[in-house]
Amino acid sequence: MNELAGKHIVLGLTGGIACYKAAELCRALVKEGATVQVVMTEAAAQFITPVTMQALSNRPVYHSQWDAREPNNMAHINLSREADAILIAPASADFMAKLLHGRADDLLSLMCLARPIETVPLLVAPAMNREMWAHPSTQRNVVQLKADGAVVFDVGSGEQACGEVGDGRMLEPAELLEEVIAFFRPKLLRGQRVLVTAGPTYEAIDPVRGITNLSSGKMGFAIARAAREAGADVTLVAGPVHLATPRGVRRVDVRSARDMQAAVQVQLPDATVFIATAAVADWRPANTAEQKIKKDGSGQPPALSFVENPDILASAAQSERAKSGALYCVGFAAESHDLLAHAQAKRARKGVPLLVGNIGPATFGQDDNALLLVDAQGTVELPRAGKLTLARQLAAEIARRLSVGR
């Protein structure tokens, strides 16, 4: 899936050791279908060579405002007009200050100043020492750049080339790629506050054993990412899974169904959309042993009794906010057979406007899925595709229903 097919990105490099990450970022952008025009400052060329960037972008690198390759000698005009976005990565503290004050003493800063603001967005990925990042002047510059319309990405935290540890690292190439992809996605859920549950729950029998299921959490995490891409403010309540948190998504980790219920109850009053993707255990042991249950030599398993877990989705759907239309609830049904019948019955039983069904054994742990959307008007099939693709389609379906129903 070429996420950036048809996009032309000017990748600007300024002076900083993080230029080494720009090589991998360029390669990743090209791999996702974008064409990339690299423009480097003189300082950037001290850290990585134009030859390297030319090889990765498959285009000549520009670095001088006096470049004779442009017939009109106006590279700062020509290159900026061709771009769908200008991405400065890394953006040094000095270059950010230059952007803020409209200084234009090299090709890259000239391009940023001369770009049509309404049609060529400016994306900035800061990279600097932790003290430089924390300095009040840099923080003021970040605030003003955002006010001027630039998109300033977060910085990473960790070890820095100087040997110090803290904030100021440029985001990793994969993180920046995710941010760039998200930037270009339609903001269909802008203004919405979306709460997503994902993954399985784990119900302890004793300190080393428990009851769970095969849900990997991939669908729920994809939905959280897609909702954030669509402009929503997203909180993800995740059961015990080993998945990276999508960029820009707040994450709350839980273990059992009751843990998940408690976390949802805290977040739900602020949510406008609740998507219950998690495969919550229907039952839990009535009692959890404090020590590991040992075999007693009888050949008989220990007697276990069970109690029903709380119904998180039904509780949310029956709340006053849901009944008033302030909260839109979406349920998931992972079935093994008779998907349509079970999904219709579950939608009626839970009292949710939209129920999304899938065949659990065919999707647990996989990277693709097929979904069946069931609402009061009928059904919509989303054919098998990657989970992120389906998550984006679901986000669009939710947005359409919100615009119709509100």
Listed in order, strand segments (DSSP E) in 66-220 are 85-91, 122-126, 151-152, 156-159, 165-169, 193-198, 203-206, 209-211
* Residue 162 annotated to the active site: yes
**How many Å apart are CA 367 and CA 360, to the nearest integer?**
13
Cβ–Cβ contacts within 10 Å for residue 337, how many? 8
**How many Å apart are CA 365 and CA 140, to the nearest integer?**
45
**How many Å apart are CA 126 and CA 169, to the nearest integer?**
8
* Rg over CA atoms, the chain: 25
**Amino acid, res. 346:** K
Q: Which residues of 244-281 are buried (b: 16+ CB within 10 A; e: fewer)?
A: eebbbbebbebbbbbbbbebbeebbeebbbbbbbbbbb
- Whether the CB-CB separation of 358 and 379 falls below 8 Å is answered with no
**Amino acid, res. 84:** D
Catalytic annotation, pick one of 19, 26, 112, 162: 162
Query: Which residues are part of the catalytic machinery?
Result: 162
